[in-house]
Amino acid sequence: MGGQEIEQLIRLLGRLPGFGPRSARRVALYLLKEPQTRLAPLAHAMERAGNAIKTCSSCGNLDTIDPCHICSDPLRDQGLICVVETVGDLWALERAGVHRGVYQVLGGTLSPLAGIGPEDLDVAPLFEKLNKGTVREIILALGATVEGATTMHWLMDQLAPYGGVTVSRVAQGVPMGGALDVLDDGTLAAALGARRPA
């Protein structure tokens, strides 16, 4: 519909997660009806966020500072590291406000079938900290999926040599087949509170 600029906008919107052609057209129309008050501010916010975004070299979080505001917060327990699959999971735990330590974002899960191996996971910062001896406890907060379980068992093998480090895993509350970032705050709190030795 309309000129190529409009068609290109609809095409790119249609690639967003959760979008189809219909929702892409709907959002495009919504924005184009009020270019000055709807479209321009969003385009500007996207540009600003795109220019500001950094991946935290310490934990893998997305933030506008590196180290991120969690890793650089002196009130967070640097000796307590929660391992999550994605930045979305980290954000979910932060919204719930149930973790007072820091994080390690793996950026994925092991999946032999999909050809995703240990070298594809972002674990180097975690083992650097372990080798420095600054880690006291690790919480494995992975999804209750086949890939999450595979990843957890591989991690537990890697962590076994670090005898002085307590390793626990979130257990109660994570439904089978479920990802962490769809859970409500109470469920996340329960899952963390009821963690048990791995």
Nearer to its own copies by Cβ, of 93 and 192: the residue is 93
Shortest approach of its own copies to residue 83 CB, angstroms?
18
Asked whether position 137 contacts its own copies by CB under 8 A, the answer is no
In the complex, the smallest distance separating the C-beta of residue 20 from its own copies, rounded to whole angstroms, is 11
Query: What is the distance of C-alpha 181 from the center of its chain?
Result: 8
48 touches its own copies by CB under 8 A: yes
- Interface characters, 20-39, with its own copies (x: CB under 8 A): ---x-xxxxxxxxx-x--xx
The residues in 178-197 that bind its own copies, with binding defined as CB under 8 A, are: none
Q: How many CB atoms lie within 10 A of CB 151?
A: 25
Q: Which is nearer to its own copies, 39 or 149 (CB)?
A: 39
Binding of residue 116 to its own copies (CB under 8 A): no
H/E stretch holding 105 reads: strand 101-105
Q: Is 9 in the site for its own copies (CB under 8 A)?
A: yes
Sheet with strand 137-140: strands edge to edge: 101-105, 77-84, 137-140, 166-169, 196-197
Position 62 contacts its own copies (CB under 8 A):
yes
- Distance from first CA to last CA of the chain, Å, rounded? 56
Instruction: Please count the other Cβ atoms lying within 10 Å of the Cβ belonging to residue 138.
Output: 26
Give 103's strand partners: 82
Examine residue 18 and tell whether it contacts its own copies (CB under 8 A): yes
- Contacts of residue 173, Cβ cutoff 8 Å, sequence gap at least 6: 183, 187, 188, 190, 191, 194
Of 139, 133, 137, 147, nearest to 178 (Cα)? 147
Task: Look at residue 71 and give the partner it binds from its own copies, Zn ion, none, a contact being a CB closer than 5 to 8 Å depending on partner kind.
Answer: Zn ion
- 86 binds Zn ion, rule: CB under 5 A: no
Q: Applying CB under 8 A, which residues contact its own copies? A: 1-6, 8-9, 12-13, 15-18, 23, 25-33, 35, 38-43, 45-53, 61-65, 68-69, 86-88, 91, 94-95
Q: Applying CB under 5 A, which residues contact Zn ion? A: 56, 58-59, 61, 67-68, 71
